[in-house]
Copies of this chain bind each other. A is one copy, B any other.
Amino acid sequence: MKKPFFELMTPQLTPPLTEVKNGTVTSPAGFRAGAVYSGLKTPGPDKLDLGILVSDSPCDAAATFSQNSILSPSVTLSREAIQGGGKFRAVVVNSGNANCSVGEHGIIDAREVISLAASQAGVRPEEVLICSTGVIGVELPMGLLRAHMTEIELVDDGGMDLAKAIITTDTRLKTRAVSFEVGGKTVTVGGIAKGSGMIHPNMATMLAFLTTDAAVDSGLLKQVLSDAVDVSFNLVDIDTDQSTNDTCILLANGAAGNSPIEAGSDAADTFAAAVRDVAIHLAREMARDGEGATKLIDATVTGAHSVDDARLAARSIVSSPLVKTAVYGRDPNWGRILMALGKTEIPLDESKIQVFINDIQIVESGAAIPFHAESVVQALGQPEVYLRVALNVGDGDATAWGCDLTEEYVVFNSAYTT
C-alpha cells in the first residue's frame, strides 16, 4: 500500500518508540563521556575538540567507514579493530585535525592517542576506537593531546559535551535518543553526529556515534547498523565530496539487562526501527546544517523499478547544483528535477512521471500542468522543502536529504587561507 504524499512529508516517531528529551550517546545506561579543549581548533568560547566515550562494560560494535581511497590512519586503525572482532569499551575522537596524508606519522600518532585515551578511561588500548576530523595534511600536535587527555572527566551526562567536541563548524549540535521496552526492560538507543559545515577548509567529515544499552546479537547489530546507514547517512548529500574520515560506530553494552535481541524477533524489528530513527534524525539534521544552507531539501522518489534506482534518483536530485540553486532561489524549475532524475540513467517511462513540490502537483504524465506559481514559490521559501517524484513503474521508494546551494557555500569554501 502506497502512502499518500502528505503522510510521507514529516518523519513521525513510530510506536512503540518514544523520544528521550535531550538524548545523546550517554542516554543509554552504562555509557559515560567527557571532552576538553586541547588547542586543536581555533580558540573560542565553549569550544571542545578532544573527547572520549566509554562504556562501563565491554560492547559489541558495528561500524561503517569512508570508502575513499585516501584514508586517515585513524580510520584505518578503527576499521582493522572492528574487522578483527572482539569487544570494545571506548571511542576517542578529536576535531580540528584529520590526521590524514601526513605520511607514516599518522599511524604512530593514532596509536599513541589510543593509548592515552585507554589510560584515561581505564580500559585496554585494544578496546579503543579512534576518529579524527579536521584539516588534512597536518600532523597531530601530540604535545597538546598528551597534555589535555588527562583532563577529560568521564561523566554520566557527558554526551552533550562529546557532541560539542566532534563538531567543526556545524552551527548546531546533532543529538537524538529513543527508548522502547523489551521483555519488561527499557532499552535506549542514543546518537550524536557532526556534519559537513565546511567553513574551515578541508573539513567535510561525517562522524556519527550511536550507543545502546540493549543486549543485541552481534550479527544482528551489524545488519541493523548497515541497513540504517543505507537509509540515512548514505542518503545525505551536501556537495558530493566524500571525506577521508567518515565513520559511523554503534556500540551495544547490554546494560539494560534485557535478554539478547535475536534476528527475526519483534524486538529486532523495534530495535532496527529505533536505530533507523536516530540515524535518520541525525542525517536530516546534518543536511539541514549543510555549509551555507538556508533550507533542508527532502527528496522522495516513489515507484521506481527498484529501491536502488529510487535511492540513486533521490540522491541525484538533492545533489544537483542546479536543483540546489533553484530551491535557494525559490524557482519552481521542475525541468531541473527531471534532468537530475534522468542523469542517473535509471529506466523510467517519461509519460508516467508526476512531480510534486510539497503537496502541490506541477507535473503529470511527464509534462507541466497548470499550477499556482506563487503557491509553489511560497512552498520553496519554507525551511523544509519536499520534492516528490512518482515514477509509477515499480515499487521502489527512497528519500534523500540535502540542502540548498548558496553564495555562502562558495564564500566559506574559497576563503583565502594563506
**Chain A residues near B (Cβ < 8 Å):** 67-71, 98, 100-103, 135-138, 198, 201-202, 204, 239-244, 319-322, 325-326, 328-336, 338-348, 350-351, 363, 365-368, 373-374, 376-377, 405-407, 409-411, 413-418
Assess whether B243 is in contact with A339, with CB atoms less than 8 Å apart. Answer: yes
Residue of B nearest to A343 (CB): B242
In the complex where A137-B335, A137-B368, A417-B331 touch, is A241 in contact with B326 (Cβ < 8 A)? no
In the complex where A101-B366, A240-B320, A343-B241 touch, is A201 in contact with B69 (Cβ < 8 A)? no
The 8 closest A-B pairs by CB, nearest first: A136-B335, A329-B414, A70-B342, A325-B413, A103-B367, A68-B342, A242-B343, A69-B342
A407 touches which of B68, B363, B365, B411 (Cβ 8 Å): B411
Assess whether B201 is in contact with A343, with CB atoms less than 8 Å apart. Answer: no
16 of the cross-chain contacts (CB-CB < 8 Å) are: A69-B342, A69-B346, A101-B335, A101-B338, A101-B366, A137-B334, A239-B321, A241-B320, A321-B409, A326-B414, A329-B416, A329-B417, A373-B418, A374-B418, A377-B416, A377-B418
For residue A402, give the distance in angstroms from its CB to the closest CB of chain B.
12
Contacts of A416 in B (CB 8 A): 329-331, 377
Assess whether A413 is in contact with B326, with CB atoms less than 8 Å apart. Answer: yes
For residue A12, give the distance in angstroms from its CB to the closest CB of chain B.
32
* Complex alpha-carbon distance, A208 and B410, angstroms: 30
Assess whether A338 is in contact with B70, with CB atoms less than 8 Å apart. Answer: yes
* Complex alpha-carbon distance, A340 and B240, angstroms: 10
Contacts of A367 in B (CB 8 A): 101-103, 137
Q: Is the interface of A mostly helix, strand, loop or mixed?
A: loop
Contacts of A71 in B (CB 8 A): 342
* Complex alpha-carbon distance, A251 and B376, angstroms: 45
Contacts of A135 in B (CB 8 A): 335
Assess whether A70 is in contact with B410, with CB atoms less than 8 Å apart. Answer: no
Assess whether A410 is in contact with B415, with CB atoms less than 8 Å apart. Answer: no
Assess whether A339 is in contact with B204, with CB atoms less than 8 Å apart. Answer: yes
Residue of B nearest to A414 (CB): B329
A325 touches which of B67, B333, B368, B414 (Cβ 8 Å): B414
Contacts of A69 in B (CB 8 A): 341-348, 350
* Complex alpha-carbon distance, A303 and B64, angstroms: 30
Contacts of A374 in B (CB 8 A): 418
* Complex alpha-carbon distance, A335 and B72, angstroms: 12
Assess whether A332 is in contact with B410, with CB atoms less than 8 Å apart. Answer: no
* Complex alpha-carbon distance, A409 and B409, angstroms: 11
Residue of B nearest to A418 (CB): B373
Contacts of A102 in B (CB 8 A): 367-368
Residue of B nearest to A323 (CB): B241
Assess whether A331 is in contact with B414, with CB atoms less than 8 Å apart. Answer: yes
* Complex alpha-carbon distance, A70 and B198, angstroms: 33
Contacts of A325 in B (CB 8 A): 409-410, 413-414
Contacts of A335 in B (CB 8 A): 98, 100-101, 135-137, 201-202
Contacts of A137 in B (CB 8 A): 334-335, 338, 363, 367-368
